[in-house]
Amino acid sequence: MELKLYNTLNAKKEIFTPLDAKNVRIYVCGPTVYDHAHIGNARPVIVFDLLYRLLRHVYGPDHVTYARNITDVDDKINARAVEEGVPINEITARTTKQFHDDIAALGTLAPDIEPRATDHIEQMKALIARLVEKGNAYVAQGHVLFHVPSMADYGKLSKRSLDEMEAGARVEVAPYKKDPMDFVLWKPSKEGEPAWDSPCGIEEPGRPGWHIECSAMAAEHLGKTFDIHGGGVDLVFPHHENEIAQTRCGFGTGMMAQVWMHNGYLQVEGRKMSKSEGNFITLRDVLKEWPGEAVRLAMLTTHYRQPINWTGAGVREAKRTLDHWYRLTEDAEPGCAMSADMLQAIGDDLNTPKALTAMHRLRSEAAHGDKDAAASLKACGRFMGVLNMTAKDWKNWRPVSVEIDDGQVEQLIAARLEARRSKDYTEADRLRDELAAMGVALKDGPEGTTWEIAR
């Protein structure tokens, strides 16, 4: 099966050929664990989980290594610990568990490796020392900084010149910098902050900068060069640009990763998500109101490289689609072959909208009694990370805010059907209204009456 992936580095879609087909390696920037993940954080988790599934399908599960890091040393973590008056490790332990619980609800596979920044301080210090030795970094007032002009093609990933990057970046003004674009590899720790012995002869204890963390962790677990590096488009500059600089200069390689993939931005109801806008939504809050598979499917309806507009209507439609798929595949065995059209679409730079179109064709065939189509739909769904529950468990899922007695609902539906058979339409309407007041929506069809939580 031929895979095509859009490479941000070359700004085009290319046929993917791994460096070693027996050891395909992918690194994705993971969370900074200081708070609940928000709905925007869910997008790269879902996108690169699908890529991981695809690579495992093509090359075999034993030949793919997926690393997604945990950033557990950061200014935001320090600030949250001070705000709550608790130790830093209490913040990181709690929020890491929250992250794991939330993304598990999205049907994601666990990465093969989940390195934590604080477990790789020595690797970071060693890389920093190499950069200083090679003349790409320098020590200044207890800091170690990467000297951006020392790398001739810095800016290749983001396609911007140094002048453009400086004009558009929030550059920290510091008198000890040789160049305004130079960025921190190591810095002094303030009182109460995490601290380690510093590299390069610096006497004061300190801690790493953000960018060096991923360079060190990726090199430790995937090698100095590997296949794919992923993350959100917001990480292209400066984070990924700086990772490339550190890694290539430190190890003397021509590249860090051969393919760089980035998912698009997320908006909420057409607006940028922010606390000031009043539309900041945590993933935990979304999962209280919608099943994780519906959240996942709603994300996959938009191509990963395009901006996505998160709406209540979108996740509602995803939930209804899954309601239908679960009913059609209830008795199907997923061993049937997946749709070739669906696989071809996913293999073409994760074209999920086209893949879902292929799955809707299967749905239509299954609705007309084609059992092979139903089995293929289930197999495709599971490949996409949905249809993993039993039809009964799916039907019984309830939002946290809703308490409904299924037995009572079924009794009222039976009573309404009896009233309709008796042509007592006034009573039938009254029973429908009673069910609606309970939060139940009815759907009358050829196969009888079904119900769902009203939205």
Supply the pLDDT for residue 451: 80
Nearest to 29 by CA among 223, 239, 209: 239
Tokens 């598990």 correspond to what residue?
Answer: 104
pLDDT > 70? residue 166: no
Supply the pLDDT for residue 287: 96
Nearest to 146 by CA among 100, 182, 112, 114: 182
Distance between CA atoms of residues 174 and 176, nearest Å: 5
258-295 pLDDT, tens per residue?
Answer: 999 999 999 999 998 887 778 889 999 999 999 999 99
Taking a C-beta distance cutoff of 8 angstroms, is the pair 378, 387 a contact? yes
The burial of 28, by beta-carbon neighbours within 10 Å (0-12 exposed, 13-18 middle, 19 or more buried), is given as: buried
Distance between CA atoms of residues 140 and 181, nearest Å: 15
110-123 pLDDT, tens per residue?
Answer: 999 999 999 999 99
Supply the pLDDT for residue 399: 85
User: pLDDT band for position 169 (50/70/90)?
Assistant: low
Distance between CA atoms of residues 44 and 28, nearest Å: 8
323-335 pLDDT, tens per residue?
Answer: 999 999 999 987 7
190-234 pLDDT, tens per residue?
Answer: 998 999 999 999 999 999 999 999 999 999 999 999 999 999 999
pLDDT > 60? residue 23: yes
Q: What is the mean pLDDT of the chain?
A: 93
Distance between CA atoms of residues 406 and 404, nearest Å: 6
Distance between CA atoms of residues 267 and 307, nearest Å: 8
Helix (H, G, I), strand (E, B) or coil at 2: coil
Distance between CA atoms of residues 21 and 62, nearest Å: 11
Average pLDDT of the residues in 69-73: 96
Supply the pLDDT for residue 398: 85
Taking a C-beta distance cutoff of 8 angstroms, is the pair 106, 292 a contact? yes
pLDDT > 80? residue 403: no
Cis, bond preceding 353 (omega within 30 deg of 0): no
Supply the pLDDT for residue 325: 97
pLDDT > 90? residue 408: no
DSSP β-ladder status, 143-146 and 183-188: antiparallel
pLDDT > 60? residue 168: no
What residues pair up with 4 in beta bridges, in sequence order?
15, 348
Please give the model's pTM, rounded to 2 decimal places.
0.90
25-59 pLDDT, tens per residue?
Answer: 999 999 999 999 999 999 999 999 999 999 999 99
Q: Which residues contact 316 (CB under 8 A, 6 or more apart)?
A: 455
DSSP β-ladder status, 448-453 and 440-445: antiparallel
Distance between CA atoms of residues 389 and 298, nearest Å: 17
Distance between CA atoms of residues 273 and 133, nearest Å: 43
DSSP β-ladder status, 64-68 and 24-28: parallel
pLDDT > 90? residue 241: yes
Torsion of CA 107, 112, 117, 122, to 10 degrees: 180
Distance between CA atoms of residues 137 and 129, nearest Å: 8
Supply the pLDDT for residue 413: 87
Q: Which residue has the higher pLDDT, 347 or 429?
A: 347
CB atoms within 10 A of CB 412: 19
Supply the pLDDT for residue 290: 95
pLDDT cut 70: percent of the chain above it = 98
pLDDT > 60? residue 84: yes
